[in-house]
Amino acid sequence: MSGHPKHPDRLLDMALHVRGESRYVDDLTPPAGTLHAAVFSSPVAHGRIRRLEVSKVLTRPGVRGAFTAADVPGENQIGGILPDEPLLAQGEVHCVGEPVALIVADTARLARAALGAVELEVEKLPAVFDPREAFRQGLLISPARTFAIGDVDAAWKDCDVVVEGRVDSGGQEHVYLETQAALALPGEGGSLKVISATQGPTGVQKAVARVLGLPMHLVEVEVLRLGGGFGGKEDQATPWACLAALAAFRLGRPVKLVLQRQEDMRLTGKRHPYSSDFRLGAAYDGRLLAYQASFYQNSGCTADLSTSILERTLFHATASYHIPNVRATGACCRTNLPSNTAFRGFGGPQAMLVMEAAIARLAESLGLSPAAVQERNLLGDGDVLPYGQRFHGGQARRCWQTAKTRYHLEERRWQVAEFNRTHLLAKKGLALMPVCFGISFTNQTLNQAGALVHVYTDGSVSLATGAVEMGQGVHRKLREVAARAFSIDRERVRLQPTSTAQVPNTSPTAASTGTDLNGRAAELACRAVLERLREAAARELGKDRPQKVEIREEQVYYEGRPTSLTWERLVAAAYARRVSLSAQAHYATPGIHFDRTAEKGQPFAYHACGTAVCEVTLDCLRGTYTVEAVEAVHDLGPSLDAAADRGQAEGGIVQGLGWLTVEEVLHAGDGSLLTSALASYKVPDIHFAPRRLEVQFLEDTVNPLGVFNAKAIGEPPFMYGIGVYFALRAAMRAFRPDGELAFAAPLTPERVLMQLAGERPL
């Protein structure tokens, strides 16, 4: 151990988590006098508010305040993309679980106990829960959009075979370990600090300012870390932060709002369920010629991020394949469910499921294996995607080939066939799943980031960015970026909690771009300080050419030879010479653009690609199954943090296969959530996880738009889970070679059993 003051590894998230020492909003010791809030929400899916009275609530023990829309001093509006989301219901309610009133009391228990005293009379209006029905009624959040290339209508006649079908995919609960939470602290002069469990501190800051009628500079939002977000806190951490802020502002006291698990599940949105139609045409040899898809997105009752999510669905309509004639249409259908929202993959997985379903049906009809059709049409360099971007550097084919050989595909096919021949009531299934996921926010503006770096006189470094740590390891990666930029010990670098006062106007940590955007900004900020340090070093050494100064592993070199300066001595000398040791930097992804009128452009910096091999064993008498293996070859490039990247890939795969297998979101006929607890909503546990789970990274690839050549990893592996669905389907086919099998996810054991036993598909 050297003597310099380090920021030891045990202060980083991973180490803190396993010790139970990492702190979340609800673990912070709030100031004395902090009040606690609880939300009264609509019991009705759609209706007109006839009477809303909270005066009786105020007579309940410990209650300090009760607020409705009438108490909002600024705009009662928190819609980020479209202004269609009141903070507290006004006039009408649009889903079960829409916040109607906020009760504040001395304790959270007293606040909840008083909820029953809210008097609400609602005149029920017809409610819609099905996206196709909403579409028929014209209940759209925005006009439908269409991406097209080639001439689909003319291409059908050139096809030797054309198949059609419908695919339904379900919602998905985020199950972040930390539920939605915020703590609002009133400051001097009408200012406010909000500690929020959000992926988007700036979004929260904007919304709080809007709701309270304040300029943004009076509102500071800080995030230490999240106990997971998975997209569920990209937009939907905002209402709870605004509600806590509203009460704190009105009462002049700190206010904390933490949802209980069941409240969180009932009140917040999920992954968007989709219902989709496809038509796919090909030549006899499996070459895809034409594809048409219509996506009906179940958006829920407000826009939230739905339009952006639909856009990503359209971008990924053709998944990992090159198809010359394509028309993909999508609509955000407004239903009376809590607004659905971002979830890992952001509409991409829904699109890819439809494409893979179309290929599965086509392969059946051609008598080919799905893998033969997949392989024949995989994206290669130079292929033009339906939205005009030329696919480049994606490694889709290399990953596919590597996966096939590394995981002994031919041999396993034979083994599976042999198993199925010799077993009557157990069947195995095998499927390959290629993934190509576009990296960049599809909303151009969001592809920017800022960073602020300070070098202290002892040589320790503080780095602030807009990146929110939510378990994905972005702080470890950013620490690595700063350490590499300066060529110093990574323990010298500390990541600051994310704050709108340190780095302003930030994008949410989302779209897998956290490391790319913030890492490039951090690198630029470090390089700015480094330039000044090199000049200071030259002067200190009595040399005249700063460009000959270099720092390698904390040692200062001049013209390649070690000097008397170390990192610490150099920093001290620069300070003594009154050189600034701080820098702010801004990064904006170059070269991306998109024209929403033509629906053409270059929206993505690059694609993150790979292929997974999935294998299952199905008990055909019970419908239960085991995921034997998910083994993937994934193009990551040189990893910034091997443990974090492995965790992202493995976690993403398990979360992805959960969406398609055991996770089922169910609503009652009145629109209330049936699966509102972890007792009724099943997530994959360690026993359900693949028996063999392996991810092999390509490490030798380069990516000029990544950080130190690495590629984004947060979302892409999620979509390997889709392969498990098709492995299951293959196993079902082995048992029932006849008849139609519907495409409906999740493929729960119940659904499997009904399809295997029933005459008609579900």
Which residues contribute to the site for ligand LUZ (CB under 6 A)? 305, 308, 312, 342, 346, 441-443, 446, 510-511
Task: Give the footprint of ligand MTE on residues 510-539 (CB under 6 A).
Answer: 510-515
**Interface stretch with ligand MOS, choices 179-187, 336-344, 583-591, 693-701 (CB under 6 A):** 336-344
CB closer to ligand MTE, 14 vs 66: 14
**Nearest-approach distance from CB 344 to ligand MTE, in angstroms:** 4
Q: Is 268 in the site for ligand MOS (CB under 6 A)?
A: no
**Interface stretch with ligand MTE, choices 64-72, 363-371, 464-472, 519-527 (CB under 6 A):** 464-472
Q: Is 235 in the site for ligand MOS (CB under 6 A)?
A: no
* DSSP letter assigned to residue 49: E
State how far the alpha carbon of 180 is from the alpha carbons of 79, 475, 608, in Å: 18, 21, 30
Q: How many CB atoms lie within 10 A of CB 329?
A: 17
514 binds, among ligand MTE, ligand LUZ, ligand MOS, none (CB under 5 to 8 A by kind): ligand MTE
**Nearest-approach distance from CB 312 to ligand LUZ, in angstroms:** 5
Sheet (strand 92-93) strand order: 92-93, 47-53, 119-124
Cα separation, 379 vs 396, whole angstroms? 6
Residue for token digits 């340090």? 533
Task: Locate 491 and state its tokens.
Answer: 């323990």
Binding mask 335-364 for ligand MTE (x = CB under 6 A): ---------x--------------------
Give the three-class secondary structure for 26.
helix
* DSSP letter assigned to residue 182: E
# of chain residues touching ligand MOS (CB under 6 A): 10
**Nearest-approach distance from CB 181 to ligand MOS, in angstroms:** 17
Question: Using CB under 6 A, which of 152, 342, 359, 432 touches ligand MOS?
Answer: 342
Q: 341, 236 in Cβ contact below 8 A?
A: yes
Cα separation, 516 vs 481, whole angstroms? 10
**Nearest-approach distance from CB 346 to ligand MOS, in angstroms:** 5
Q: 387, 147 in Cβ contact below 8 A?
A: yes
Task: Locate 137 and state its tokens.
Answer: 């009624």
Q: Is 474 in the site for ligand MTE (CB under 6 A)?
A: yes
**Interface stretch with ligand MOS, choices 45-53, 340-348, 388-396, 648-656 (CB under 6 A):** 340-348
**Nearest-approach distance from CB 98 to ligand MTE, in angstroms:** 25
470 binds, among ligand LUZ, ligand MOS, ligand MTE, none (CB under 5 to 8 A by kind): ligand MTE
Residue for token digits 């209940």? 139
Q: Is 231 in the site for ligand MOS (CB under 6 A)?
A: yes
* DSSP letter assigned to residue 392: -
228 binds, among ligand MTE, ligand MOS, ligand LUZ, none (CB under 5 to 8 A by kind): ligand MTE
Most distant CA atoms of the chain, gap in Å: 88
Closest residue by Cα to residue 433 from 383, 362, 375, 384: 375
Task: Give the footprint of ligand MOS on residues 196-215 (CB under 6 A).
Answer: 199
Q: Is 471 in the site for ligand MTE (CB under 6 A)?
A: yes
Query: Residue 485, class by beta-carbon neighbours within 10 Å (0-12 exposed, 13-18 middle, 19+ buried)?
Result: buried
State how far the alpha carbon of 334 is from the alpha carbons of 42, 310, 339, in Å: 18, 13, 9
CB closer to ligand LUZ, 247 vs 719: 719
Question: Using CB under 6 A, which of 13, 85, 220, 234 touches ligand MOS?
Answer: 234
User: CB neighbours of 330 closer than 8 A, spacing ≥ 6?
Assistant: 144, 145, 146, 294, 295, 296, 297, 310, 313, 314
Binding mask 214-243 for ligand MTE (x = CB under 6 A): --------------xxxx------------
Give the three-class secondary structure for 47.
strand
Identify the sign of the CA torsion 649, 653, 659, 662.
negative
**For the chain, first and last CA: distance in Å?**
65
**Nearest-approach distance from CB 376 to ligand MOS, in angstroms:** 31
474 binds, among ligand MOS, ligand LUZ, ligand MTE, none (CB under 5 to 8 A by kind): ligand MTE
Cα separation, 536 vs 532, whole angstroms? 6
Identify the sign of the CA torsion 510, 518, 589, 649.
negative
Cα separation, 392 vs 260, whole angstroms? 46
Task: Locate 350 and state its tokens.
Answer: 């829904």
Question: Using CB under 6 A, which of 41, 339, 648, 755 touches ligand MTE?
Answer: 648
Which residues are the active-site residues? 715
**Interface stretch with ligand MOS, choices 18-26, 267-275, 338-346, 679-687 (CB under 6 A):** 338-346
Question: Using CB under 6 A, which of 176, 343, 606, 681 touches ligand MOS?
Answer: 343
CB closer to ligand MOS, 237 vs 510: 510
303 binds, among ligand LUZ, ligand MTE, ligand MOS, none (CB under 5 to 8 A by kind): none
Residues of the shown chain interacting with ligand MOS in the complex, contacts defined by CB under 6 A? 199, 229, 231, 234, 342-344, 346, 510-511
